[in-house]
Amino acid sequence: MSNILIIKHGSLGDLIQANGAIKDIKEFYQNRKVFLLTSAPYSIFMSECPYLDGVIIDKRLPRWNLFFLHNLKKLLSKYNFSIVFDLQNSKRTKFYKRFILKNSEWSSSFDTLEPGQSKKDFDEYPVLDRMELQLKKKNIPIKYLKNIDLSWAKEDHSNLTSRYTNRDYILVFPFCSKKHTRKKWPYFKELISSIRREFKNNYSILVAPGPGEIEEANEMNAKIITDKNQPINIKMLISLINDAKFIISNDTGPAHIASHLDKKGIVLFGSHTSAEKVSIGNSNFKSISVKNLNELNVDTVMSKIKNSLN
């Protein structure tokens, strides 16, 4: 029997967003094996996803590397993929469609466009709306796509957090990818000091840095959550967010997690995109959007926090 392939390379927020779509695809193809092609940093995390039968790592080496392309094609051909759901919809995956998996039936945003509609216009839709249209085009019933269930990714973190706090905590995520520095609000250190003055000893303030972020975390006036001086794994991160009293974040992976866990908190957006477009936000997890994050002052953010916590 042939298998189903889903492509989603990352980032973390993108994979969190895709969980509902992955579950819908698996439920529709209950009698088929469903595999995910993703990047190495997310392979262990997604290998534990109950809606997948396996994870394949894509090293994403340059496309002029013919040895890499040959090996990738050889590897994927072993799985006899009859249908590919391209949830990444990138130039790379478009290349894969033409040269690596050209004998498989494909579902991508390009295949979802209405007559006369451009890919640029389609990409202006909110990300979950795009996924919904893509799956509906393949007649897949939508049940979980916008009702993302992360219960499978939670685990007991009490042994970890007991080392850092014995009370309710606020989680702060002042980081962002080096490629997307315009997403970064520069006043988190000042905000943490303001939170301490306002709430005194009511809450611990915790920071959970990812790979390459520990040095930056040391500059914050907060307790740094690590596991043996290394970043905590993704499941532990999700569990930590799930039990937080409040989350404050840039537009990053943890913000997606907090939003889909329906946690209280705020996410900060500049002009790079909007909360609606990336499908972040609800009645609990709210956004502050400004044209220039450098001009968003601490008092404005602090006012939103006080309204939610008092």
Is the backbone of residue 80 left (phi > 0), alpha (psi -120 to 50) or beta? left
- Sign of the CA dihedral with 140 first, then 145, 146, and 150 last: positive
Type of residue at 42: Y
Set out the domains of the chain in order of their start, with CATH numbers.
Answer: 3-149 (3.40.50.2000), 155-309 (3.40.50.2000)
Alpha carbon separation from 90 to 29, 39, 46, 93, 132 (Å, rounded): 25, 14, 20, 5, 18
SS3 of 37, please? strand
Strand ordering across the sheet containing 223-224:
223-224, 204-207, 169-173, 246-250, 265-269, 285-289
The answer to whether the beta carbons of residues 224 and 161 sit under 8 Å apart is no
Burial class (CB in 10 A: 0-12, 13-18, 19+), 269: buried
pTM equals 0.92
Q: What is the pLDDT of residues 219-262, one digit of tens each?
A: 888 999 999 889 999 999 999 999 999 999 999 999 999 999 99
Q: What is the pLDDT of residues 22-75, one digit of tens each?
A: 999 999 999 999 999 999 999 999 999 999 999 999 999 999 999 999 999 999
Q: What is the pLDDT of residues 218-228, one digit of tens each?
A: 888 899 999 98
- Sign of the CA dihedral with 163 first, then 215, 208, and 194 last: positive
